[in-house]
Amino acid sequence: MRSSALEDFYTEVNQNRSALLNKDFKSTWGFLGLNPEFLEKESCEKWYKEVFQYHFLEQLLENNQSNEIFIHEDSSLCDEDLLYALENIALVHNQSWNTRNPYLSTKVTLNKENFRLTMIHPHIISQTRPRAFLRRHKSRPIDLKSYLPHVKLRGFVDKKNNILISGSTGSGKTTLAQSLLSSCKKDEHIVILEDTHELSIEGGLCTHFLSDEKNSLIEFCSYALRISPDRIVLGELRGEEVLPLTLAMNTGHNGFISTIHSNNAVGALHRLKTLLEFFSPKTKTGFQLICQNIDIVIHMENKKIVEMIKVLGTDGERPMFQRIFSSGKEQLCEAQ
């Protein structure tokens, strides 16, 4: 429970929320014209920094090196303050997060580290406490040599093969995509398409599109083809963008890299076919189109490469492929 004085301060801040987003406490106190001798100024400052400026997240990370952090479980903030803090994060990142847009995934920087923050509004769950999850991004890309079949990986990049990386959530798909991306030639114009900022390139040529409510990945696929890309990279294949991206590969744009959720390498092709049929039911030769244009599928489990196949084509509704790497868990080299 907040004291009446703190409740009044909360009301003042809330009424001027947009104007105060990037102000420190001292500036806010002056902006609101509050009495500098106010007896509960100290408690107001603590609440402002911890909740309004979400310093509670930095405190959570001080002694937590986990890659996955459940904010709603680890934070001591009450439900109301946690909701308020998460709403502020969305506002700072120019994102809508409310009862109409209950899901949000965005990149945040805390304690000089990059994270992906995923938030779920309590409006759509049975609990009153919002759900929020942090996933830590690696500060530097993992060198391809850290993966067991690194010679093959290097060859895929150099030959500009179209690569699909499959696996479950947290299996290391994006980490491998980043490693492949970082191994590309510096003079390549790489176009990255994402809905959440996770991939990046240090130096080199890059055009990076981030989708939002007004600009979709489908539109970005069209723009990408107009700006002479040497390579198109899509963070994750999971929606309507599957058709224009497949067609783009069919027009000679090689070096494509993307990720997809799947249980195994062959299953990734079937998953891609399902997406294509769902979002473009009039496409009758979808599987053939996929297997003509995807060259390599790499499957990840627990941050390790467990399978790689070379796609050769189709035999009716069955993919034809050559398994070029497969290894038991005891033989794998995990990237550190």
Residue 279 has which token pair? 């979002």
Q: pLDDT over 70 for what percent of the chain?
A: 94
Q: Quick one: tokens of 123?
A: 């409006």
pTM of the shown model: 0.78
The reported pLDDT for the residue numbered 38 is 65
pLDDT digits over 35-54, tens only? 766 657 888 888 888 888 88
Question: Average pLDDT, stretch 62-86?
Answer: 89
The mean predicted confidence, pLDDT, of the chain is: 87
Selection from 216, 140, 153 nearest residue 184 by Cα = 153
Q: How far is CA 274 from CA 165, 237, 256, in A?
A: 17, 12, 20
User: Which tokens in the block code for residue 11?
Assistant: 């009301």
| Model confidence pLDDT, tens digit, residues 250-281 | 877 899 999 999 999 999 999 999 998 888 87
Domains of the chain: 4-136 (3.30.450), 144-331 (3.40.50.300)
> Which of the pair, 205 or 155, is modelled with greater confidence?
155
**Residue 289: is it exposed, middle or buried by C-beta count within 10 angstroms (0-12/13-18/19+)?**
buried
CA angle (257, 216, 277) in 5-degree steps:
65
Return all residues near 178 (Cβ < 8 A) that are at least 6 apart: 138, 141, 142, 198, 199, 200
Supply the pLDDT for residue 329. Answer: 44
pLDDT number for residue 335: 36
Q: Residues 305-324: pLDDT tens digits?
A: 999 999 999 988 889 999 99
CA gap 272, 290 in Å, rounded? 8
Q: What is the pLDDT of residue 2?
A: 66
Please report the beta strands in the chain, taking only residues with DSSP state E, as ranges in sequence order: 68-70, 103-110, 113-120, 131-136, 163-167, 189-194, 205-210, 231-234, 257-261, 296-301, 304-315, 318-326
Query: Residue 305's pLDDT is what?
Result: 95
**Burial of 286 by CB count in 10 Å (0-12 exposed, 13-18 middle, 19+ buried)?**
buried
Chain position carrying tokens 């891609």: 272
Q: Region 154-160: what's the mean pLDDT?
A: 96
Which residue would you say has higher pLDDT here, 202 or 175? 175
Question: What single string gives the DSSP state of each residue in 202-251?
Answer: SSSEEEEEE--SSS-HHHHHHHHHTS--SEEEES---STTHHHHHHHHHT
Q: Residue 6 in 3-state DSSP?
A: helix
The pair phi, psi for residue 17, each rounded to 5°, is -55, -50
State how far the Cα of 25 lies from the Cα of 115, in Å rounded to an integer.
25
